[in-house]
Structure 1
Amino acid sequence: MLTIIEQIKQGQLWDFPGGIHPPEQKTLSSHSKIAEAQLPSELILPLKQHIGAVGDMLVSAGDKVLKGQVLTHADVAMSVPIHAPTSGTIKAVKPHTIAHPSGLSDLCIIIEPDGNDCWGRKTTITDYRHTEPADLIDHIRLHGISGMGGAGFPTGRKLQSGLGKTDVLIINAAECEPYITADDRLMQDNALDVVEGIRILNHILAPKLTIIGIEDNKPEAIEALQRCISKEDGIVIRAIPTKYPSGGEKQLIKVLTGKEVPAKGIPADIGIMMHNVGTTHAIKRAVIDGEPLIQRVVTVTGQTFKQPGNTWALLGTPVNFLLERFGYKADKKLPRVIMGGPMMGFTLPHCDVPITKIANCILAPTRKEISPTNHEMSCIRCTACAEACPVSLLPQQLQWYAKDQDFAKCEEYNLFDCIECGACAYVCPSEIPLVQYYRQAKAEIRLRKQDEINAERAKQRFEAKKARLERDKAERESRFKKAADDRRKEMSSSGGDDAVAAAIARVKAKQAATTNTEAETSKKPAVAAAIARAKAKQAAAQSDTSQESVPDNTEMAKLREERKRQARERKAAKQAESSAVLTEQSASGDAKKNVDPKKAAVAAAIARAKARKAAQASEQTTVDKTQDKPANTATEEDVDPKKAAVAAAVARAKARKAAQASEQTAVQAQDEPANTAAEENVDPKKAAVAAAVARAKARKAAQASEQTAVQAQDEPANTATEENVDPKKAAVAAAVARAKARKAAQASEQTTVDKAQDKPANTATEENVDPKKAAVAAAVTRAKARKAAQQAAKDTQQNSEEN
């Protein structure tokens, strides 16, 4: 049985399923030689013109560059650099629309040519036959060579994958798509360079057989290649039938070798390597001439051009520059420019799109030449697309799943085996843009897979970091534990204590001391002073108790006698007040008939003054007795200061109660004459004015006397607190001060009464005042004054008890 190589050498060919035969239209551009490249006003170089990663920029805006100078750099195999197509200045580095079906923008380097076209430094390999394949592969990669057939796969990476396992090397020269003649003219005009590039690939890969696959509609190219190939090269030229898409990688391998590339596999998996004829020409220029990939052959065709043909175009040349050069005249009803052929190309959003490494054709057809796409209709299930598919897929099923975004089903039906040749859309009677659905679904699946890869990579990094931290923690703990054990052993061997335990104990003690200090300093000064006074009193009481072994009840007996005496005096004062009230009521009854309101007010003030005097007299008597008895007692024997202070406080409270009772009686006596005066035909204005003046002066006198009493009470207390003074004497001094304050208040009130009696007639206002309202206002004012006096008395009592 003959081997595959023997069958190929004998001229045997195979066929692939499906395929179509659209009009070729190649004679429009294949009749003339390739035109030389011309310099546009600016060159737009996208950073990404191939499959793989983008390199790092080595230039910035404003830099001067030479022809062939490296603009980007990357060390990874799946990335190739780009080079300056001519000498000039970096005008800008910014996003610009690129040659892509999406019409999106990408980062581009814009060069303004200087017209000199000066070359930079070239790196050549004169004798590649004595150079290692790895060095040649690296040289090819650094010169920016990538696949020029349409995929843009980095050539260096592709050669690495086939080292040592390539049996058959195939050069793809089929160029099956209509209108495109770039490879045809390249083989006719530069056949020697193409063959030399094939020889370099043979040296790198060392295949058993090299085949040039070319369609039989290119006889001139076949003849030019045969003239350049010798028997020693081991290169076989095979003319294959013209059928679209015979130029596809998997389809051409099937036609030439009868083998099929497995799903999701590459030709290297079955021992086959394929390169485009344009790529071989670029390899020869890079290795032997030292020129990077800075230009390529582009077909400019269509019936809208006056002179369609092929031209060398510098990478980055705007499409509109080529249109103007070849005499483009847009169709009036349907102007459009397509990058690529009519089957796999895409319409450009505008003509300011640059030429890249994979752009092989600019097609500008008329409306009659290529009819516009009508409205998409529903699928009629005619199976024409399945019969035309060269990969034996089910295009209608894939379109349904892609439209429904059921990407799992799309992968199940081998969506990624689709080469996007457009044969299914070409034969579809419903004019469904099937390839567009497939491209969109592929892009979405790639994006989701990339997200999953990134998530998995992030998860692995997180888990690795977590494991590293735990490992470091365990090592640190074990190291500390070992060091502690070593210290303990050393301390035990030397007979000392554990230094770590002692240090921990010292730290804890220091923290406890700090906490106590902060707690003590956080107390308020007033609270601290009160606590200090309480502690001093407790200490004094304990000292007195220690001195007296037998309790002395003499002081308590004296206090009881004093309370009895005060009770008798209060009883007598109440009787006197009740008799005074009866007398005033009878007097007020007589005054209802014919009483002068001025005299009534004066009588009320006199009654209040007498009540105050009586209370003051009783309090003075209490103070005198309190002052005499404790003094005599203090001289005779030691008395408990706490009991003396309690007795003084009780006496003050009783005196205040007697004063309040007398004041209430006086107020009642004042209110009744005022009401009586309001009922009679007496001048109410003068009475109201006189009452108001009397009340105001009484309030001022009460406030002054109260302030004096407070000051008199505070000073002895403070003095007793600051100095070492006998508490009994301090209590007596406080009582005397309060009595003097009461006398001063009484004297001021008496003066007020006298003035009120003399000048009530002169202070009357001339306006008509309602006597009832005046009386009510006077009563409210007196009530407020009494409340204020009571509050002041309570505050005074509290301060005296605290002190």
Structure 2
Amino acid sequence: GVPVHAPTSGVIESIADFPVPHPSGMADRCITLKPDGEDQWCQRSPVADYRSLERDEVLQIIRDAGISGMGGAGFPTNIKLRPPRDRKVSTLILNGAECEPYITADDMTMREKADEVVAGLKIMAWILRPERCVIGIEDNKPEAIAALRKATEGTQTEIAVVPTKYPSGGEKQLIQILTGMEVPSGGIPADIGVMCQNIGTAVAVANAVLEGTPLISRIVTITGEAVREPGNFETLIGTPIEHLLGQAGVNQDAVSRLVLGGPMMGYTLTTEAVPVIKTTNCVIAATAAELPAPPPEQPCIRCGQCAEACPMELLPQQLFWHAKATEFEKAEHLNLFDCIECGACSYVCPSSIPLVQYYRFAKGEIRAQQAEQLKADRARERFEARQARLEREQQEKELRRKERAQAAAEAAAKKQAEAEKAAAEGQAVDERAAKSALVEQALARKKAKAQASQSPAPSAPPTEEKPDIEALEKQLEQARSKLETMQGMLDDAKAQQADNVEKLERAVAKNHDRVQRAEEALSEAREKLAAGPTESQTTH
């Protein structure tokens, strides 16, 4: 899409659904602007020399100005001016062949704004770098032809005058007339190195780049036998059509049908309360005699006149049957989307069959089916992506669980090994402590004997061995510390349900016995020390 600009200054009153110019007659989201009458402009940024900019910068200016095609489907111009790299545009065509009856908007634009038309063409040619620039115009517009020839003097731009024949103003038809090449079925002009732009689009490009003015207005033809003052009006985008009809002096009592567009490709409006949009080129206020109601539809007599009139050389009769039978796939196979909806087949049909309406219906249904299919495909892709993500997350979760289990097993094995090592070291410590205590006792006995042998009273009996309280206390402390350590290791092993619980229980019981023996030995030593020397030791 392209940006939307307020055509004048004012206050936005609402953003809601309103009727819009469309063959379906359906409503769409619209912005209601109440003008303040001051018509104040924002800051504009004209470019004096666009050649000093990068091409992407100029394309961005065109996009920001909200420019889209003003003669067809309204495709964004900045996108159209950026063809694929593998499709070199060799011919740039400006379509001034306004072939449909009643419409003179492009004719008036070429007369009054020929310089802007050529300026816009030069900008687009600078972007695309084509080998050839052509302005195609029908021979029933002599004033426009003269204005354009004057504006293109001294340039390489060609003015190609073509016969007035409907629908020579169609994009594909004009390309074939001017280049002799035919756009392939299902393809676009860029496929054959051609690009076609509208006259009004060229003016909008020139205004956007050279003046900094966004696309906020266009020329609209107001005509028909019910109009007192028919003419072309420079109209702000968003202007209600009923306001235009009032400006042209429409006799409401005489209006039988209100047609948006031309009598061939246009469609009837159900209300005047629709806005002018960027592709609105004509409004016909027709009387009953001017555009009478079509007669009732009759069965097809297979005369073949529709096939003779079709400029795209399609098979309108077969397309009609398939569209009526909702055999859309068969209709699409017969190149339904190559139909330009020119209305020539409907115009020549002696059975008054509204063929174009059937084709529009079939196209709409096919597009709806394609949209639904695309929606379903995207939903499937999202589902598959979600399933893949969930599966990947589950695999990652399982991998993390296995890693945690492996780490826990390794930690348990390490702790068990440490416990076994500590138990072995504890047993060695106990043995060393016992040996140390025995050594100390032996030394004490030896010392006592030495002292006894050195006594001055040889007749005195030897003294009884004095217990070593300090050594026994140290032995008891070591035994208790070891018991406490082993008890802690046993509790941890039980909590983790380790395999060495039974072994640790035996070690704890053994250490508990050692503590008891050490306590008993210390208690006996203290009692012996408290009793003092014996009677034999006190008499000489």
Shorter-normalised TM range: 0.7 to 0.9
Distance 1:162 1:267 in 2: 12
1:79-90 equivalences under 5 Å are: 79-90=1-12
3-state SS, counterpart of residue 495 of structure 1 = helix
| Mapped partners of 1:229, 1:270: distance in 2 | 26
**Counterpart mapping for 1:350-365 below 5 A:** 350-365=271-286
Query: Normalized per residue, which structure has more helix?
Result: 1
Q: Name the residue aligned to 2:355.
A: 434
Partner residue, 1:326: 248
Q: Distance in 1 between matches of 2:414 and 2:218?
A: 86
- Describe how 1:133-152 pairs up with structure 2 within 5 A: 133-152=55-74
Q: Is the 8 A contact 2:136 2:159 kept in 1?
A: yes
Distance (Å, rounded) in 1 between the aligned partners of 2:416 and 2:286: 103
Q: CA deviation at 1:157?
A: 1.0
Deviation at 1:165, TM superposition (A): 1.3
Aligned residue pair count? 425
- DSSP-derived class of the 1:483 partner: helix
> In structure 1, how many angstroms separate the alpha carbons of the residues matched to 2:492 and 2:405?
8
Asked whether 1:230 is paired with 2:124, we answer: no
Residue pair 1:162, 1:205 contacting (<8 A) in 2 also: no
Say which one has the larger Rg: 1
1:171 and 2:100 matched: no
The 3-state SS of whatever aligns with 2:158 is strand
Tell whether the 8 Å contact from 2:97 to 2:136 is kept in structure 1 after alignment. yes
- Paired residue type of 1:285: N
Q: Which residue number in structure 2 is paired with residue 159 of structure 1?
A: 81
Residue identity in the other structure for 1:442: K
Cα distance in structure 2, aligned partners of 1:460 and 1:254: 42
Note if 1:417 corresponds to 2:342. no
1:288 is matched with 210
Distance (whole Å) between structure 2 residues aligned to residue 445 and residue 501 of structure 1: 74
Q: Is the 8 A contact 1:318 1:354 kept in 2?
A: yes
Q: Which residue of 2 aligns with 1:255?
A: 177
Cα deviation 1:593-645 (Å, max 9, x = unaligned) = xxxxxxxxxxxxxxxxxxxxxxxxxxxxxxxxxxxxxxxxxxxxxxxxxxxxx
SS at match of 2:286: coil
Aligned equivalent of 2:257, options 327, 333, 336: 336
Q: 1:436, CA displacement in angstroms?
A: 0.5
Once the two structures are superposed, residues 544-570 of structure 1 have per-residue CA deviations (whole angstroms, 9 ceiling, x without a partner) of: xxxxxxxxxxxxxxxxxxxxxxxxxxx
Return closer, same or farther for 1:502/1:141 CA change in 2, 3 Å cut-off: farther
Conserved 8 A contact 1:330-1:336: no
Within 5 Å, give how 1:214-613 maps onto structure 2. 214-231=137-154, 233-330=155-252, 332=254, 335-495=256-416
Q: Which amino acid aligns with 1:322?
A: L
Could you list the structure 1 runs, at least 4 aligned residues long, displaced by more than 3 angstroms after superposition: 499-506
AA at the equivalent of 1:208:
E
Letter in 2 for 1:327: G
1:172 CA drift (Å)? 0.6
* Alpha-carbon distance in 1 for matches of 2:494, 2:143: 100
Q: 2:497, 2:44 → 1: CA distance? A: 78
Shift of 1:114: 0.8
1:368 CA displacement: 2.3
Match of 2:117 among 182, 186, 194: 194
- Separation in 2 of the partners of 1:504 and 1:347? 87
Letter in 2 for 1:434: L
Contact 1:286 1:292 in 2 (8 A): yes
1:207 to 130, 134, 139: 130
- 1:603 aligns with none
Find the aligned partners of 1:502 and 1:394 in 2 and give their Cα distance.
Answer: 91
Distance 2:494 2:68 in 1: 74
Amino acid paired to 1:119: W
SS at match of 1:118: coil
Aligned to 2:513: none
Aligned residue in 2 for 1:683: none
Please tell me whether residue 120 in structure 1 is matched to residue 42 in structure 2. yes
Match of 2:455 in 1: none
Give 1:121 shift: 1.8
- Judge conservation of contact 1:122–1:291 (CA < 8 Å) in 2: yes
The Cα shift of 1:206 comes to 0.5
Matches within 5 A, 1:653-732: none
Match of 2:108 among 185, 202, 210: 185
* Alignment partners' CA distance in 1, 2:493 and 2:187: 69
- Contact kept? 1:87, 1:117, Cα under 8 Å: yes
Distance 1:311 1:493, change over 3 A: same
1:339-365 Cα shifts (integer Å, max 9, x gaps) = 100000111101111110000001112
Q: CA deviation at 1:504?
A: 8.6
Structure 2 CA distance, aligned partners of 1:505 and 1:489? 15
Give distance in 1, aligned partners of 2:367 and 2:226.
38
Q: 1:206 to 1:502 in 2, by over 3 A?
A: farther
| Range 410-419 or range 118-127, more displaced | 118-127
1:62 — aligned with what?
none
2:257 match: secondary structure: coil
Q: Distance in 1 between matches of 2:258 and 2:493?
A: 87
Question: Which amino acid counterpart does residue 476 of structure 1 have in structure 2?
Answer: K
**Structure 1 residues 104 and 505: CA distance shift in structure 2, 3 A:** farther
Report deviation, 1:122: 1.4
For 1:478, give the aligned amino acid.
L
The answer on 1:92 being equivalent to 2:26 is no
Q: CA shift at 1:124, angstroms? A: 2.2
Secondary structure at the counterpart of residue 82 of structure 2: helix
Distance 2:336 2:496 in 1: 71
Distance (Å, rounded) in 2 between the aligned partners of 1:239 and 1:501: 103
Q: Which residue pairs with 2:525 in the alignment? A: none
Cα drift, residue 472 of structure 1: 1.7
- Rounded Cα–Cα distance in structure 2 between residues aligned with 1:272 and 1:480: 63
Per-residue deviation at 1:367?
2.2
Q: Say yes or no: does 1:130 pair with 2:52.
A: yes
Question: Is the contact made by 1:172 and 1:277 (CA closer than 8 Å) also made in structure 2?
Answer: yes
C-alpha distance in 2, partners of 1:84/1:123? Answer: 17
For the 8 Å contact 1:93–1:110, the answer to whether it is kept is yes
- Percentage of matched positions with identical amino acids: 52
Where does the alignment leave 5 or more consecutive residues of structure 1 unmatched?
Answer: 1-78, 507-803
Q: Distance in 1 between matches of 2:41 and 2:242?
A: 26
8 Å Cα contact 1:159-1:205 kept in structure 2: yes
Q: TM-score, normalised by structure 2?
A: 0.76
> 1:127, CA displacement in angstroms?
1.0
Q: CA 1:443–1:261 in structure 2 vs 1: closer, same or farther (change >3 Å)?
A: same
1:107: which partner in 2? 29
Counterpart of 1:179, as a letter, is Y
- Structure 2 contact 257–288 (Cα < 8 Å) conserved: no
Counterpart secondary structure, 2:357? helix
Shift of 1:194: 0.6
Take 1:467 and 1:351, find their aligned partners in 2: how far apart are those partners? 54
After superposition, where does 1:21-32 map in structure 2 within 5 Å?
Answer: none
Deviation at 1:501, TM superposition (A): 11
In structure 2, relative to structure 1, the CA distance for the partners of 1:338 and 1:503 (3 Å cut) is farther
In structure 2, C-alpha distance between the alignment counterparts of 1:459 and 1:322, rounded to whole Å: 49
Q: CA RMSD in A?
A: 1.9
8 Å Cα contact 1:150/1:359 also seen in 2? no
Q: Residues 236 and 474 of structure 1: is their aligned pair in 2 closer, same or farther, counting only changes over 3 Å?
A: same
Uncovered stretches (5+) of structure 2, i.e. residues with no partner = 420-490, 499-540
